[in-house]
Amino acid sequence: MNSNNGLDEIDLNALRDPAGIFELIEVVGNGTYGQVFKGRHVKTAQLAAIKIMNINEDEEEEIKMEINMLKKYSHHPNIATYYGAFIKKLPSATGKHDQLWLVMEFCGSGSVTDLVKSSKAGCVKEEWIAYICKEILQGLNHLHKNKVIHRDIKGQNVLLTDNAEVKLVDFGNMP
């Protein structure tokens, strides 16, 4: 435990390889630092969102911070649940960086941005807007009680599950 900020020290090189644990199905979006895939746990067939990021030294601390934030704060109904992190080692001869796989709860109904774009004339019913805002505020309240500021709330970072649950994602910009 790092005594300065209460976050775990993470050794990215010690993370397991995702091969045989998760498989990628399709690209579902692009995040700040990488692509997001719909994936599946090989043994259980549970769906997951898998954010794949190339690891370079400049971004290593931010990546560790995001993992820590997900581990520590995702146990709330309005924050996408963190399932784990993995490292896919790439042969050094390729000249490519190793890849970090951040595995989280899959929110199959897309983002609030997607919801607005798919609505007639971009209009969402007032009841839905009120519900989504209430859920966002509950997630933010959880973070703020823990002295964490999200700093990147936007439609693309508010996801909806198939059960109409509202989940905050993309912790990359959190202090």
Q: Compute, in degrees rounded to 10, the torsion defined by CA atoms 155, 33, 59, 100.
A: 120
In a domain, 5, yes or no: no
With beta carbons less than 8 A apart as the criterion, state whether 54 and 99 touch.
yes
In a domain, 6, yes or no: no
Q: Which of 17, 98, 152, 162 is catalytic?
A: 152
2, 93, 99, 117 from 12: Cα distances, Å: 15, 20, 10, 38
Cα 127 to Cα 144: distance, rounded to the nearest angstrom:
25
Average pLDDT, integer, range 93-112? 87
Tell which residue, 161, 38, 150, has the closest CA to residue 110.
161
pLDDT reported for residue 19: 92
In a domain, 4, yes or no: no
pLDDT reported for residue 125: 93
Please state, rounded to an integer, the average pLDDT across all residues of the chain.
87
**Is residue 127 scored above 90 in pLDDT?**
yes
Predicted TM-score (pTM) of this structure: 0.85
Q: How confident is the model at residue 3 (pLDDT cuts 50, 70, 90)?
A: very low
Range of the domain at 82: 12-168
CATH code for the domain of 120 = 3.30.200.20
In a domain, 19, yes or no: yes
Q: How many domains does the chain have?
A: 1
Please give the share of the chain, as a percent, with pLDDT higher than 90.
60
Tell which residue, 44, 48, 143, has the closest CA to residue 86.
48
pLDDT reported for residue 67: 87
- Would you give the distance in Å from CA 103 to the centre of its chain? 7
Q: How confident is the model at residue 155 (pLDDT cuts 50, 70, 90)?
A: very high
Summarize pLDDT for 12-69 with one digit per residue, the tens: 778 899 999 999 999 998 866 779 999 999 999 999 999 998 887 777 887 888 888 8
Residues tagged in the binding site annotation: 51
15, 61, 111, 115, 129 from 120: Cα distances, Å: 45, 43, 16, 10, 15
Average pLDDT, integer, range 72-100? 87
In a domain, 175, yes or no: no
pLDDT reported for residue 6: 53
Residues tagged in the binding site annotation for ATP: 51
Residue 94 identity (one-letter amino acid): T
Q: Is 11 a catalytic residue?
A: no
In a domain, 7, yes or no: no
In a domain, 2, yes or no: no
